[in-house]
Every structure is written in C-alpha cells, then in structure tokens.
Homo-oligomer: A and B are copies of this chain.
Amino acid sequence: MRILIVNPNTTASMTAKLAAVARRVAAVGTEIVAVNPSYGPASIEGYYDEAFAAPGLLELIAKAPDFDGYVIGCFDDTGLDAARALAAAPVVGIGEAAFHAASLIAGKFSVVTTLARSVAAIEHNLVRYGFAARCAKVRASDVAVLELEEKGSGARAKLSAEIARALAEDGCEAIVLGCAGMADLANSLAQEHDAPIVDGAAAAVKFCEALAALGLKTAKRGGYATPQAKTYAGEFGRHSP
C-alpha cells in the first residue's frame, strides 16, 4: 500500500517531520511518500494562507493518481473537500483524523493549537464534521507554526502549559494537538500529562490505511463527485479537470 502525505505548506522540515511520524506508525508493507508544493505559503495560519496553499496541494494529488490513500498534512484540513472530489482513493485530513481518534477514546477532548487566528477555522471544521459537542474547547498556545521548527524557541513549554490548563479547566479527557508541526511532541507530552495526547498526522496515516484496507473509496454522488471537465483560464489552465 502506498500513501501520499501532502504537506500543503512549503516548509520542507515540516514535510520531513510528517514523513518520520508516518513511518513510525505505518503498517508493514505501507510505503510513505511525503511531499510539499514548491509554491505557496511557508506556513498556514489562517484563512488567507489556506486559500493559497490549496492549489499546490491539489496539483500534487492530481500528479499522483496511483496512491492508495492521501493524507493532508495541515490541521486545518486545507483543501480536503476539493481533494476528495479529485482523488479516487480515500483522502484524510489530519485535523479530522485527530477528532475521530479522540472521539474513540474519550468522551470530550480539547484542542491546543498555535495562534488565536487559527481557532475559528478549527471550530468551523468541528461544527461541520459533527464534533462540536465532543470538543470542550479550542485553545491557542500562542506559538507560531514555524517556532515549532526552531530549537530553543520555547514552543514546547508554552504548549505544555496550555495542555495543563486544558486538563484542569475544560472538563476534557484527552488533548488533540492542533498543528502538524506538533506531531513529534505527542508521546512525550502524553507521558508528562498522563493523558491521551492525539497527534492527527499519525492518526490520519492509520485511518487512511484502514479505509484502503476496507476497500472504501470516497462517495462520488454528491459534493465529492469528480470535477466536471471545463475550461480553466490563464495561469490555472493546467489545473483544468
């Protein structure tokens, strides 16, 4: 089985981190390929960045039609719906994967993400997916995405402090890490706080494997129908379905 992980931002160190996390949990026989676009935002922190990350993400999926599953490596699930319309194989976002995993092991979870500006998009996804009542609170840790890539930035300490507050105040039973860049911290934070800490990147890989093994593909009647052939003008002509 081959799974393509697309990091929709252009920061290669995050792509490498996603690949490492994925390979750690992948089943025997699962090949992990991790890529990122050559154009677009260096990190995704809010709706504007999302809009410019989606085309590169979709292009990478379009160019790799033979994979058995696709993982979108941004907690916002950037471009997830469009990717599902495009791909034949299942597509799983790391945000939704984390919510599904947390819901299978806890009554309520809290999300700890990066900046306050990212909270709204996560809350929107929770509402749309159906997890709003399962999520106690979405919290910002005031850590920028790229700080997670810098040694000595103090990012882990800020994140850990916010997790402690969530467990003390929210009535939550598990924590979801709200950024792909936090994937490598899940295990040590789980030990530190003696609570389940869910990393969506690892979860998305396993759920993608699961769907592929089950022979399930995205439904093509409704919103995920294959895009209709039509003219795309100008510089986006090459993306025409």
**8 Å CB contacts to B: which residues of A76-126?**
79, 81-82, 84-86, 90, 92, 96, 100-101, 103-108, 116-121, 123-124
Q: Are the C-beta atoms of A213 and B25 separated by less than 8 Å?
A: yes
The interface size bin for chain A is 35 or more
Q: Are the C-beta atoms of A206 and B210 separated by less than 8 Å?
A: yes
A233 partner residues in chain B, CB cutoff 8 A: 10, 37-42
A232 partner residues in chain B, CB cutoff 8 A: 39-42, 52
In Å, the complex CA distance between A223 and B50 comes to 12
Q: How close is A179's CB to chain B, nearest CB, in angstroms?
A: 15
| A49 within 8 Å of B (CB atoms) | yes
Q: How close is A215's CB to chain B, nearest CB, in angstroms?
A: 7
Copies per complex? 6
Given contacts A47-B81, A210-B207, A222-B120, contact A104 B108 (CB under 8 A): no
Q: How close is A107's CB to chain B, nearest CB, in angstroms?
A: 5
Residue ranges of A at the interface with B (Cβ–Cβ < 8 Å)? 10, 25, 27-29, 37-43, 45-52, 54-56, 58, 79, 81-82, 84-86, 90, 92, 96, 100-101, 103-108, 116-121, 123-124, 127-134, 167, 171, 173-174, 187, 190, 195-196, 198-199, 202-203, 206-207, 209-211, 213-225, 227-228, 230-237, 239-241
